[in-house]
Structure formats: structure tokens, C-alpha cells
Amino acid sequence: MYWVDKVAKEILESGKYIPYWVDDMKTPSGFAHIGALRGPVIHSLIYRALRDLSKEAKLTFVINDFDPADELPPEFKEKYKDYLGFPLRKIPSPDSKYDSLGTLIAEDFKKVQLDLGVEAEFLSSYEMYRGGRFDGVIKEALDNAEKIQDIYQKVSGSKKREKGWLPFQVECEKCGKLGTTRVFAWDGKQVSYKCEPDLVVWAQGCGYEGKITPFGGTGKLPWKVDWAAHWKVIGVTIEGAGKDHASAGGSYDIAMALCREVFNYPEPYKLPYEWFIVGGRKMSSSKGIGFKAHDITSIFPPALARFLFVRTDYRESIEFNPVGTMVISDIFDDYDKCWQAYNNDSDPNLSRVFVLSQIKDISQRKKIFLPRFRDVANYLQLAENLQEKFEEIKGEKLNEYELKILSEREKYAKIWLEKYASNDFKLVFSEKLSEGAKKLDVKQKEYLSKIIDLINKSDRPEELQLSLYNLSKEIKLDSKKAFSAIYQTFIGKDHGPRAAWFLLSHPKEKVIKRLKEVSKA
């Protein structure tokens, strides 16, 4: 049984998590990195697995756009530095299509999730606070401020109770900042606060003091309290979290305790999952570390992008380093194995991975020929006619669906070759003469020197290809050695793409200069 089906079965058999309401959330502090997609896909998988067991389930994703900006994405850092401390929903948008920077970033991440088949209903924390949905939990939190501090200390071992501390921050009525205010009194109807100049290092408060109702979106709960409050307000029964939050005594444990002891709401099903790592480093949205989530569908088709997350158990980290490696090609190969397992009923786990990777439900089985991604990339470099080549391999015409797959793989193979493929795989014009080129014999050098005239005379690859072959016969040089001399001269290998097409795809003066260089070497 695949891991997500085990999780769904455990949830059902416990009898504790009804209704089945799966939730995830994120603060739009910066354009999300690829690793941030792990949570949404894991929650989507749980939701699908519950539905497959004929259970009604709901999936939501909360955008924490009421959080204060304590850091800004690198591309907006200078322009919006004066807005540090403001709610993300109150920072102006650089794009007039959106009402705020928070909305712009949130919509970017929302689109990627939808592209990857995440079926969530998207909720705005800012709008829920403004609509009064948090008023009840705000009162509970303010009335239990000392108890909340006791839970912090008991669960995490944090500092002892701070006299006068209250779990709430308001938007300053004078300067509009949220992250710089300290609430110090609560009379059951209003809170007293001060916008502190030195409360945080990333923003400066204006010093204003005031009194205001805490209800109707004038402010918000601190995030650990806010997390637990969200569960009660929405009705969440299942929510996972990355291991940084799920470590012993961390924010996950604190939120669970607050949920149980302050808000009197049952703890959701707990699912701590491992990180997604690029090149050995955990990524950060606000610091711009790692590939952006919106880049993933320029690397993979949507189903392959989803597969990247589906195929790995939530308890295992995902290491993804596509630059200068064969990783992308290997992932296509792994996906094809799962596809074939689905078609052939050969491995239930691989088949399940394939099904869960699909963006839409599969209406019928497709016993089809799959053009291998690595071969597509290779034939592209060899200037082969892809359809003819794969029909030759298949032994018959490709059907409409197979041609569609081939076209899609051609698109992504071109991107891979241009941006990510290993240099050992790419056939590119070498910057310097290879050692092999320096060791060419006299006959091969003679051949290369005579090529110059052919290139000057012809702009048609078919004509030039024939001339290159005929020239080798004229000077009595084995054609294999002749073409090997060309490949060593230009790409440092004994084999390569169709020579004439390759030569004519580069500036003539550059090609001729290299031919003269190797002839004298």
C-alpha cells in the first residue's frame, strides 16, 4: 500500500478526524520556491486518498496575507523598504492588476498549485479577520494570555512569563504598521497598545499610543496562536507541516497544545514532512534561495512536476539539483516506469504514483508508445526528424496521442539542453580545441582545411552534407575518421549531430576560424 493510502487509512480508522477537512497555509513573504510546493501536494494527496476511499473531504489553503512584512523579496526590497512592518495585504503592488504586494505573490503561488492539480479552496487570512470570523478566538486568546505563556514555556522551554504580555498586535492607527505594536492591556472590550520604536530590528514604530477594539480585523494574533486559531475558525481536522515547525517543542507542538487547552478544539491529525533541498540547501522565499515555484512548469510538464513530489514518501527529503546533471532526464525515465506499471498492472505502488501524479482523473488506460526523453534530446541535437525516428523505433505510425506526447517532450528537451543538461550530454561548440583535436593526423587536418571551401560555397545543409562525404572519398580518408575530425574540432567528441546542420547553425567566420586553427595545430 502506498504511503498516502496508509495515512488515509490511519485517519479513517482513528475515527477522530471527522469531518475530513485538510488544510495548508503559507505567508506570501516572497515568491515561493519549488520546495514550498511539497506541502500543497502532500495535502492534495491526502485529500485524494480520502476521496478514493469514498469519503467526503474538503481541502483549503490559507494565504496568511495579514502577517506583517518582516522581510521583503530581493526584487522589491529597495522599493518597498518603508513598508516593513505593514501587513502584506497593505503594501502597494508593483503590478496594477493586484491590490497589494501580498496578493500579487499569493496569486503567483496559487496559479502554480492549480497547474499541479491542487484542488484547494484558497482563503485569505486578512479577509477572514476583517469579516469578523476570528473575533471569538481573539477574545479567547486575550482572556487566556497567561495560560498561553504557560503553554509556550511548558512545550518549548521558552523564557518565563512576561508581565503584561498579550497575544495580539493591532495596526497602528497613526502609521499603519502591525509588526511594531505591543498590546499591553485588555478590558474585555478594547485593547491598549503602543507602536514601539524599538520593538523589532526590521521596522521602526512611530511611538503612538492608543486604545481600540481588537475585533473586525483591527489586528491579529501572533502566528503560533494564529495557527491554532485558524484550525478552529475554519474547522480543520488534518494539517501537516515541514520538519522545521514539527521538531519537538516547536511551533507545531505549541499550536497543538493551544488548540486543545485554550481554544477547546480537537487537535488536527499531525503529519510532519521532510524538506525539499536544492544542491544541499534548504530554500527560502524571502531570501531568494532556490528555484521559484513558478519555474517548475518550465522545467517539467505539470504531471511530471507533480510526480516530483508524489513519488517520495513524506518522511524522506527530496534532493533536486537539475543544473549540469541528468536529474531531469532521470525523472522522465522514472515517470515512464510508473506509467508502464499502470498500463501493465505490474507494480501497484508505481501504478498508484502514476495515478496520483495526474492533474485530472484518468478516464481510460492508454497502452501507448512513450518516446524516451533522453532520446528526444539526443535526436534533437543530431537534427533528426523526431517523428520519423520514433516511428522507426516503434515500427509503425505514432497515433495522435503519442504525437502530442512527443511534441511536449520536444519542448521540454529543448529547455533542458539550453539550461540544465550535463555538458557531457550536450553537443555544443567548444570554447577551446580539445586534446583529441590536437592529436588529429595529417590526413584529417588536410580534410578539415578543404572543408573551408565547401562551407564558403554552400548554405544548404543537405548539399553540404553530401559534399563532406564526397570529400572524404576524394582524399581517400575513411568517412568515420573524417567526421570524427569534425566533431573533435568543434565539440571535443568522436561523434555528434549531423555535421552539415551543425556547421551551418554557427557563424561562418567562427567555423572557418576554428578550421584554420586546428589545421595548424
SS (H, E, C) 76-102: HCCCCHHHCCCEHHHCCCCCCCCCCHH
Q: How far is 216 from 131, CA to CA, in rounded Å?
A: 6
Which CATH number does 435-520 carry?
A: 1.10.10.350
Spatial contact of 449 and 515, defined as CB atoms under 8 Å apart: yes
pLDDT at 282: 53
Residue 434's alpha-carbon distances to 61, 486, 502, in angstroms, are: 54, 12, 17
pLDDT at 285: 46
Q: In what order do the strands lie in the sheet with 121-124?
A: 121-124, 57-63, 20-26, 238-242, 269-273
Q: In what order do the strands lie in the sheet with 318-319?
A: 281-282, 276-278, 318-319
Which CATH number does 322-419 carry?
A: 1.10.10.770
The contacts of residue 206 (CB under 8 Å, 6+ apart) are 172, 174, 175, 177, 180, 195, 197
Which CATH number does 3-135+224-282 carry?
A: 3.40.50.620
Cell of 153: 514555556
Q: How far is 373 from 415, CA to CA, in rounded Å?
A: 12
Spatial contact of 21 and 231, defined as CB atoms under 8 Å apart: no
Whether the domain at 322-419 and the domain at 435-520 fall into the same CATH topology:
yes
Cell of 162: 512576561
The structural domains of the chain, with segments of one domain joined by +, span: 3-135+224-282, 158-220, 322-419, 435-520
Q: How far is 202 from 51, CA to CA, in rounded Å?
A: 45
Question: How far is Cα of residue 501 from the mean position of the Cα atoms in its chain?
Answer: 37
20-34 burial: b if 16+ Cβ within 10 Å, else e: bbbbbbbbbbbbbbb
Residue 42's alpha-carbon distances to 35, 284, 328, 369, in angstroms, are: 12, 19, 21, 30
Handedness of CA 260, 263, 267, 273 (dihedral sign): negative
Spatial contact of 193 and 183, defined as CB atoms under 8 Å apart: yes
pLDDT at 166: 97
Parallel, antiparallel or unpaired: strands 181-186 and 191-195: antiparallel
Q: How far is 53 from 10, CA to CA, in rounded Å?
A: 12
Count the neighbouring beta carbons within 10 Å of the beta carbon of residue 59.
22
Q: How far is 416 from 298, CA to CA, in rounded Å?
A: 9
> What are the phi and psi torsion angles at 168 (to 5°)?
-165, 145
pLDDT at 359: 95
Spatial contact of 239 and 22, defined as CB atoms under 8 Å apart: yes
Q: Please tell me the total number of residues recorded for the chain in this structure.
A: 521
Query: Long-range contacts: 186-190, Cβ < 8 Å, 24+?
Result: 186/142, 186/143, 186/145, 186/214, 189/213, 190/214
Q: Give the pLDDT of the chain (521 residues) as one tens digit per residue.
A: 999 999 999 999 999 999 999 999 999 999 999 999 999 999 999 999 999 998 899 999 999 999 999 999 888 999 999 999 999 999 999 999 999 999 999 999 999 999 999 999 999 999 999 999 999 999 999 999 999 999 999 998 876 667 889 999 999 999 999 999 999 999 999 999 999 999 999 999 999 999 999 999 999 999 999 999 999 999 999 999 998 888 888 899 999 999 999 999 999 999 999 999 886 555 454 444 458 999 999 999 999 999 999 999 999 999 998 988 899 999 999 999 999 999 988 999 999 999 999 998 775 556 789 999 999 998 888 778 899 999 999 999 999 999 999 999 999 999 999 899 987 787 778 888 888 999 999 999 999 999 999 999 888 888 999 999 999 999 999 999 999 999 999 988 888 778 888 888 888 999 999 999 998 87
Of 243, 229, 202, nearest in space to 85 by CA: 202
pLDDT at 378: 87
pLDDT at 366: 67
The contacts of residue 244 (CB under 8 Å, 6+ apart) are 250, 275, 282
**Can the peptide bond before residue 19 be classed as cis, meaning omega within 30 degrees of 0?**
yes
pLDDT at 381: 85
